[in-house]
Amino acid sequence: MLALRGWVDQAAREYPARLAMTVFAAVITLVWLLLLPPWATTSGQGAPAVDALFTATSAVCVTGLVVHDTATYWSEYGHVVILVGIKVGGLGVMTLASLLGLAVSRRLGLTQKLLTASETKTERLGEVGALLRTIIITATSIELVIALLLFPRLLALGDSAGMAAWHALFYAVSSFNNAGFVPTADGLLPFASDWLVLLPICLGVFIGSLGFPVILNVITHRRRRHHWIRSLSLHTKLTVTTSLALLVGGAVLIGALEWNNPATFGSQDGATRVLSSIVASVMPRSGGFSSVDTSRLHQETWLATDALMFVGGGSASTAGGIKVTTLAVMLLAILSEARGDKDTDAFGRRIPRDTLRLSIAVVFMGATAVLVTCLALLRLTPYSLSEVLFEAISAYATVGLSTGITASLPDAAKLWLCGLMFVGRVGVISVLGALALRDRRRIVRFPEERPIIG
């Protein structure tokens, strides 16, 4: 125990990003081992090792891509393991590493506090320990509220009380953590016209995609009766406004593209088409649920969904992608350049230049990861570019939507996607966390010279 404590202390001081990745990999390994026994499947034969690893990675990385139907392939024991993996994975990489530090070292080191503060966007390091408890309590409370909203409707649809409670809880945890796993046969397809089922799930996905900094910032300022919106942080304002813009814009665009498609929205009545448009816009934010058959969408809709998935949700949230604040900062920088402004401003605040540099790094790393994966999948599988691009972005952004090719992928492609899901959920956060702690001060600065751009 003393040796483990010493290793954690040293890793937290010297290699905090490596510690977080190690902890996350350990959780994936544990869930994988728990899914290997024969009693984890309904057939009692045990899942293939690669399929169990894929499912474990998808659950802990809150992705939702599956190689087997969750409801029918995995047993009740398997469902519990998957749900626990989703819950733990949703806590976040740095939060998870900090919890390990608390459990083993009985304290948080300065580096761990800085990393956790960076992910959760808190400013007072002394509050990080209390913040971790607040995150867990807040997340669990929201999940219980969503479950309570779903329970009476599922009960009315014919589930027994116990089954309705279990399905409501599973959907609540899966939606808030943007995991996309479903405990019922055919997922949300049977509920395509049911507002009382889909709206709570959409609400859970949207709130979860905002991120804990936004949720806690709103809760902190909720008692201010006057000018409470003005008192919110810049991060909250950028996240909420950009998320709402993407939600409305995505719903209008996808609704227009699919309105007359007889294989998807075209066979539905007007109200159901509106609901399907909302669902199709919310879920690419990293939710991963679908109320229509994704494989039958137009390819133009696939491309629009690709863009929404790549952006993802808010920073320090259960969502993946490059994050909405990254998109907002990039767009604001472009607007400032077009106007000839020296500074990038938003809501009466100036955005530092190093934030813009980090945004560029995030976009470049994300695009590179997707590009390399597409090349690999095109080599390993017989599928088209549009199909593998959709799969790659879904894995990187931890979304879980698929055109239907996941189950038929060869083992090599499944393992590649496992690595991409891990990178999408852990790698970028860890790298940026390490970069955020670096402040290289140079005594000598080279003379400035502008290269030609564009």
Q: Mean pLDDT in runs of 10 for the chain (454 residues)?
A: 56 60 87 96 94 96 94 95 93 61 52 54 56 82 96 94 95 94 91 95 94 83 66 89 96 96 93 96 92 94 96 86 93 91 88 87 91 96 96 95 94 96 76 53 69 70
Contact by Cβ (8 Å): 275, 198? yes
CA-angle at 59, arms to 57 and 60, nearest 5°: 70
**pTM for this entry:** 0.89
Residue with tokens 């009382």: 196
Task: List the domain range (segments joined by +) for residue 384.
Answer: 2-436
Token pair 């790393």 is at which residue? 365
Please give the DSSP secondary-structure letter assigned to residue 283: G
Please state the separation of Cα 195 from the chain's center in Å: 24
Q: How far is CA 47 from CA 43, 53, 73, 181, 236, in A?
A: 9, 9, 9, 17, 43
Asked if the structure places residue 447 within a domain, the reply is no
Tell me, what amino acid is at 383? Y
Considering the domain boundaries, does residue 97 fall inside one? yes
Kindly calculate the radius of gyration of the chain based on its CA atoms and give it in whole angstroms.
Answer: 22
In a domain, 73, yes or no: yes
Task: Give the pLDDT confidence score for residue 426 in this predicted structure.
Answer: 79
Give a yes or no: residue 375 inside a domain.
yes
Domains in the chain, number = 1
The pLDDT assigned to 152 comes to 96
pLDDT of residue 314: 87
Residues 318-374 pLDDT 10s? 888 999 999 999 999 999 988 888 888 988 899 988 888 888 888 998 999 999 999
Give residue 95's pLDDT.
67
CA terminus-to-terminus distance, the chain: 58
Q: Are 105 and 8 in contact (CB under 8 A)?
A: yes
- Provide the angle, in degrees to the nearest 10, between the axes of the packed helices 270-282 and 195-210: 20
Whether residue 444 is contained in a domain is answered as no
| Rounded distance between C-alpha atoms, residue 324 and residue 346, angstroms | 14
Q: Is residue 414 part of a domain?
A: yes
**Cα–Cα distance measured from residue 175 to residue 178, given in angstroms and rounded to the nearest whole number:** 5
210, 138 in Cβ contact below 8 A? Answer: no
- How far apart (Å, rounded) are the C-alpha atoms in residues 16 and 436? 12
User: Is residue 397 situated within a structural domain?
Assistant: yes
Cα–Cα distance for residue pair 212/326, rounded to 1 Å: 17
SS3 at position 346: strand
Judge contact between 228 and 255, C-beta under 8 A. no
Residue 443 placed within a domain: no
Burial of 378 (0-12, 13-18, 19+ CB in 10 A): middle
How confident is the model at residue 358, as a pLDDT? 82
